[in-house]
Amino acid sequence: GQNIDQPTEMTATEGAIVQINCTYQTSGFNGLFWYQQHAGEAPTFLSYNVLDGLEEKGRFSSFLSRSKGYSYLLLKELQMKDSASYLCAVRKNTGGFKTIFGAGTRLFVKA
Amino acid sequence: DTGVSQNPRHKITKRGQNVTFRCDPISEHNRLYWYRQTLGQGPEFLTYFQNEAQLEKSRLLSDRFSAERPKGSFSTLEIQRTEQGDSAMYLCASSLGQGANNEQFFGPGTRLTVL
């Protein structure tokens, strides 16, 4: 089976740094995605990690440790527009790279 | 607009009726996915196509659900004898199927309300 855990909600202040953690248990791990989803909108791609380590992309960075089944998304210099749900998703290497999503972390950025 | 499109954007139906949704993926993408999302949850995998072949279907999907992708381009998702529990956002996504990350591009979704 598979299980993806991430905090339900987080609150942070504009200009600050926030780290959203994700732990997973799955067979056939092929990679880990982070998606951003604003309320009422479709998810949009943020990052993809397949090897251990940190991937940096502008204000957003994503980290993966396959041995620990752990990832985090780091958001720097928070802006109000970053208020959204952040979805951790695991891609499996079976069945055409099926992707399993976590429930998401709702991030509230306050002034 | 060259993104993923879905129609209709909203559908209200009475319990017991059949509904059909359409998804047009990005033209060069050969993989197409259907997901269902309810409030406060992440997208839940329903089914997946590579070209016209349906390669995987979630065990959560009852026999009332069927999906097709007849020519390997657009896809339809049909729900027969709808139930109130079917009320959700139905998301379609497509990906290129090659390359390092196979990023999935999502459409805007079809919001279904079953009365």
pLDDT per residue over B59-82, tens digit each?
877 889 999 999 889 999 999 999
User: Hey, what are B3's tokens?
Assistant: 């993104």
Phi–psi pair at A80, nearest 5 degrees:
-55, -35
Residue B98 pLDDT: 61
**What pLDDT digit, counting tens, does each position of B25-65 carry?**
999 899 999 999 999 899 999 998 999 999 888 887 788 99
Neighbours of A10 (CB within 10 A): 17
Residue B99 pLDDT: 57
Test A99 with B104 for CB contact under 8 angstroms.
yes
B34 and B91 Cβ atoms separated by less than 8 Å: yes
A32 and A49 Cβ atoms separated by less than 8 Å: yes
The residue-averaged pLDDT of A50-58 equals: 94
Rounded Cα–Cα distance for residues A52 and A32 (Å): 11
Residue B113 pLDDT: 97
Residue B33 pLDDT: 94
**Facing B43 at nearest CB: one of A43, A48, A96:** A43
Contacts of B101 in chain A (CB under 8 A): 31, 33, 48, 50
Instruction: State whether residue A98 sits within 8 Å of chain B by CB.
Output: yes
Residue B59 pLDDT: 81
Q: Report how far apart, in Å, the C-alpha atoms of B108 and of each of A32, A47, B111 are.
A: 22, 20, 9
A24 and A71 Cβ atoms separated by less than 8 Å: yes
Rounded Cα–Cα distance for residues B22 and B60 (Å): 21
The dihedral sign for the CA sequence B114, A43, A80, A14: positive
User: What's at B27, amino acid-wise?
Assistant: S
Instruction: State whether residue A46 sits within 8 Å of chain B by CB.
Output: no
Which one has a higher pLDDT value, A40 or A1? A40
Residue A79 pLDDT: 97
Is the pLDDT reported for residue A2 higher than 90? no
Which one has a higher pLDDT value, B99 or B7? B7
* Angle formed at CA B51 by CA B33 and CA A48, multiple of 5 degrees: 45
Test A50 with B106 for CB contact under 8 angstroms.
no
Q: Which residues have CB under 8 Å from A8's CB, separation 6+?
A: A103, A105, A106
The residue-averaged pLDDT of A64-83 equals: 97
Longest dimension (CA), chain B: 44
Test B56 with A100 for CB contact under 8 angstroms.
no
**Facing A42 at nearest CB: one of B44, B102, B106:** B106
Instruction: State whether residue A103 sits within 8 Å of chain B by CB.
Output: yes
Phi–psi pair at B30, nearest 5 degrees:
-100, -10
The residue-averaged pLDDT of A60-85 equals: 97
Test A101 with B40 for CB contact under 8 angstroms.
no
The shortest C-alpha distance from B8 to chain A (Å) reads: 15
